[in-house]
Every structure is written in C-alpha cells, then in structure tokens.
Structure 1
Amino acid sequence: MGLRLGASEEKVGELLQAYPRDSYQLSTKFTPQMAAGDSDHEVADMLAGSSKRLKTDYIDLYWIHNPADVEKWTPQLIPLVQSGKIKQIGLSNHNLAQIKRVNEILGTAGIQVSAVQNHFSLLYRSSEAAGIIKYCQDHNMTFFAYMVLEQGILTGRYSVDQPLPAGSARAAAYNQVLPQIGALVDALTEIGAAQQASATEVATAYALAKGTTPIIGVTKAKYIPSEAKAMALTLSPAEIDRLEALAQAANVDTKGSWEAPMI
C-alpha cells in the first residue's frame, strides 16, 4: 500500500518539532500536474498545505517540480516570496530557456532563482552540454544533481554477472546497459583504489568536480563517512577526461521517462 498524499511531510513535521526552526532548512515542492488548473492561487494553496503538514510558517527552498507552464506558475511565486512564506525558489527538470524565462519573470520583482535540480551523472551530462551548470555558476545558483550514481550502476556493485534484482524497475531500466558500462565502472574502481576510495565515491567526486551539489540518498548513518570521503577526493584533469571518454564510449541513454531533453 502506498503512502497517503502528504504523509511524508506530516512525518517530517512531527520529527522536527523537537528542534528550533532556525536550526534546519526545509525544502518541498509544487507539482503543476497536481494543481486543479482553475485558480489564480494554486501555488499558494499547495504551499499552505505543505506548510501546515510540516508545521512551519515558511519554506526555505520551494521547488517548481517541472516546467509544465512557466508563464502561469512563476508569477504566483512572487507574493509568496515577498510575504516571507518562501525564502528561496528552485526549479527542477527545467531547460536553460525555461530557467532564463523564470528569472526574467521573477526579476520584475527583484527576485531570482536560487537553485536548479536536474539529472546529472557521468552517463547523463545534458545539463552541462546545454550550458545550465555554467549559467548557474554565473548567476550564483546552486545546481543540485540527482541520479549521480544512476540508481546504483556506477557503484561497482552491479555487473553482467551480478545484475540488479530481477523484477525491479531498476533492473528493467539498467540491466540491459551493464555490458556497455563495464569499462567505465572498472575505471571508477581503479581511480578510487589509488586514493583508498570506492567507485561510488569517485562517481560522486566527479559530480562535485563539475561544479554540482550531488543529492545523495543517505538512508543509514554508516554511509555518511563515504560522502565525506567523496568530498575530500581530488580527481586530476586526466582522470576526469578518461572517465568522460569511457562514459561517451559506453553510448547509453539514461534519461528518465519523466524528463524532457535539456538540449
């Protein structure tokens, strides 16, 4: 049975009641496809629901989860920032033209996008090719990279001989490309071994080296030292070139079905 809509926000809100509000930051999202489409205040309404469930008066970073209608939803963000209900605005799965347009609309009120969240990994670098990462750097916007490890296939745990568990969505999406990425995973493992690091840590360090902030799903405290290790790794330009060449040679497309092309 799936979680009831909003249940995760309620749980987070309950857990955070033990801590001062200024000791943490909250991020949640507006999903255009969940809006009814018949109100001029749908962003405000959805934000109010999230804030109530999270037991807070404001959201530190509020995401527009996809670019369904930039012209419609963006203006609704302005009064929410001006009233303090939102501190910063983020965009997820937007291309460069859409990001620029949102900034233009917000700019009429002296506001700009603070963060972008797109798929980025060694195997999927479209946000870099499209100039999105550079645009973020030039405009003081944080680029959050998700799927940095491509659902685990860049960790070294999986191979042709040890595929992802049969019957899973990950297996359906990735097992077929495991033969093509073998050389890349071997290189990640080899480069990591020279610094007593894992393939996972090198793949994460690569995303950091490209100017992104990886979104890491740390489900257990024991994984935290690994992320600290990734942050401490230094990849040489030659190592980065080698990894990118092997990724290109693998010739796999890991774009999610929910993603629009960035280029």
Structure 2
Amino acid sequence: MLTENQPKIALGTWAWGDTPDGQVFGNHLTATDLKPVVTAAMDAGLTLWDTAYAYGSGASEDKLGELLQDYPRESYQLSTKFTPQMAAGDSDHEVADMLAGSLKRLHTDYIDIYWIHNPADVEKWTPQLIPLVNSGKIKRFGVSNHNLAQIKRANEILGEAGIQVSAVQNHFSLLYRSSEEAGIIDYCREHDITFFAYMVLEQGLLSGRYNVDNPLPADSMRGSIYNSVLPQVSALTAGLQAIGAKQDASAAEVATAYAIAKGTTPIIGVTKDKYIPSEAKAMSLTLTDAEITQLETLAQAANVDTKGSWEAPMA
C-alpha cells in the first residue's frame, strides 16, 4: 500500500539512538550533528522517517522530533514502533502507553505507520492496535520481523475490526533474502501491503566503503559482526561497483536500487548530509534482469549468514 506521497526510500534513524560510547555503530550523534541531515533530506523530498522507542530508549525519537519541529507536520511522515520486550507492565494498555511516549518525543498527535516491532505475542499485542487506529492516533499499522503465518494471523485479528496490516518491515538485502524465499514479499504484493526492507546495506558492509584494508569500526557491534566476513563479500562488492560504474553510481546505490527492483521500500540509515544525494541517485537507477541475476549469484557465492541475533527464520 504505497501511498501517493510516500518516497521510494525511507530514512532510518537506528544509529541516532546509539549509546554515548557508540557501542553499536561506532559513533554518537547529537541533534546538532544531525540537523544538516534533516535539512538535506527534506529538501530532497525524502520525507519518510523510521524510528523506534527501542533505538536508545527514546533517544532517536527525541532527536528526530526536535529536528522536525521546523517543518509543517503534513510535510513528512513518521514511522515508529511498539517493542513488546520494553513494555512497562502487563496491562491491556501497554501499546497505548508506549505510543503516548513516542507521540510526546516526536512532538505530534499521530503516527503515520506504527509497528509491532517483533512477534513476541501476536495474539496479545495485535488487538491493542485496534482502538489506536480507530482513534486516529495511528494512520497505518505494520508488523516487523514477522513470518508469513504471523502476518496472516495479525491480518485475521485486525480484519474482525475492518482493519488490515498495511506494511511489513523485515530484514532484506542481497545477503539476506529470507522474506522473499518465504513468500512474504509476494504476499505483500498480492494484498496491497508495502514491504519495507531494513539493513539493505548490512550496516555498511555493502556500501563499498569497507574492505579488508579498511574495516568497519573495530570497537563497534557492527564491526565485531561484519569485519570477519569482509573477504567473503569482496567479489560481491566488486560486482556492485562494476555495475554502478556503468551509471556513475556507487556500490551502495546499486545495492539500494536492487532492493527497490525487488519490490521493496528500503530503509536507509543516514547520519551525514553528504549521503542524501546518493539516495536520489539510487531511486533513479535501472538494473537489468541480467545484472540482478549476477548480483544474486555473487551474493549466494559469498555464503554469509547475516541474520540478526533478534531474528527468527522467515522460512
């Protein structure tokens, strides 16, 4: 359900909520650091922002909400999440309570897309979304990290109230196509559901900026996960760069264009304004069927499992 005014790419703010010592991404960003990012993105028409209370226990939402106050609310869209493991208690209002905190931090009275962050208990949490959708505090409802059976069950629960899942947000990249293999992307296409792909660049692994001689920050969580597989993905990175060279595009832009070509809306984490033009470039690229097949063959040959520790298999 790609709305008319929804960009082909969403901007992710996971890294905006990193710890003061940069434990996850290797840096800690302030609102002052990020203001140029918001300015450049809004000027470029990249106006869909994805965040979550779980990103730094509200730190990402705080920064995003502060920086977007300079813009009319109707000029951008907000996507944030209810994370079951962070619920304060065991009442029938846990989703409403977390949503209230997000609304306050984001300086708004409604969220364009509100997600159940993971399928900890589909039967328990999904029904709590119904009154929030009916109240207008949530415009669209989505599920994240859900497998096909869980997505269908959420749709059944919501369907009793005349509501449906309108978005799915799962990990999808050249190196991790589990949602495609499980039939989730096809299901979304058939039911007018937008599939949002996160970790399209595998936290920078497929950006073309890192290699054996220039690894990811060694003292970060992403460095500890990905640096060991840099030799395995070197051929894939080279393939991305070679395809990009034909259209004056970077490896990151080609990897993003691949996700778009597969029928997804990529969520790209951006922490510097200089990368905003890159997203516009990615949206303009056209990949041939042969190039897509070549990239998928290289990705398969890399034999790298990038499933996150928080993820259950989709298939």
1:133 corresponds to which residue?
185
- CA distance in 1: counterparts of 2:59 and 2:202, whole angstroms: 27
- CA distance in 2: counterparts of 1:101 and 1:226, whole angstroms: 38
Structure with bigger RCO (C-alpha 8 Å, 6+ apart): 2
In structure 2, give the amino acid aligned to 1:210: K
2:142 corresponds to which residue?
90
| Distance 1:104-1:201 versus aligned 2 partners, 3 A rule | same
> Which segment is superposed worse, 169-178 or 101-110?
169-178
What percentage of residue pairs aligned between the two structures are identical? 80
1:38 corresponds to which residue?
90
Per-residue CA distance 1:110-148 (angstroms, 9 max, x = gap):
101111111111000001001111111111111111111
Secondary structure, in 3 states, of the residue corresponding to 1:157?
A: coil
Per-residue CA distance 1:66-86 (angstroms, 9 max, x = gap):
100000011111111111111
| Distance 1:194-1:102 versus aligned 2 partners, 3 A rule | same
1:65 corresponds to which residue?
117
Per-residue CA distance 1:155-197 (angstroms, 9 max, x = gap):
2222223322323222211121112111111111111111111
Q: Which of 46, 50, 66 pairs up with 2:102?
A: 50
Q: Which of 192, 201, 205 pairs up with 2:244?
A: 192
TM-score when normalising by structure 1: 0.94
> Which segment is superposed worse, 213-222 or 94-103?
213-222
Over the residues paired in the alignment, what is the CA RMSD in angstroms?
1.7
1:256 corresponds to which residue?
308
Secondary structure, in 3 states, of the residue corresponding to 1:216?
A: strand
Secondary structure, in 3 states, of the residue corresponding to 1:91?
A: strand
> Which segment is superposed worse, 181-190 or 10-19?
10-19
Q: Which of 208, 211, 215 pairs up with 1:163?
A: 215
Q: Which of 137, 141, 144 pairs up with 2:196?
A: 144
Secondary structure, in 3 states, of the residue corresponding to 1:61?
A: strand
State the 1:37 CA deviation: 4.2
State the 1:224 CA deviation: 1.7
In structure 2, give the amino acid aligned to 1:39: S
In structure 1, give the amino acid aligned to 2:311: E
Unaligned runs of 5+ in 2: 1-18, 21-54
- CA distance in 2: counterparts of 1:11 and 1:157, whole angstroms: 26
In structure 2, give the amino acid aligned to 1:94: H
State the 1:49 CA deviation: 2.0
TM-score when normalising by structure 2: 0.79
State the 1:4 CA deviation: 7.1
- CA distance in 1: counterparts of 2:278 and 2:70, whole angstroms: 28
Q: Which has the larger radius of gyration?
A: 1
Question: Is 1:110 aligned to residue 110 of structure 2?
Answer: no
Secondary structure, in 3 states, of the residue corresponding to 2:242?
A: helix
Q: Which of 217, 225, 240 pairs up with 2:292?
A: 240
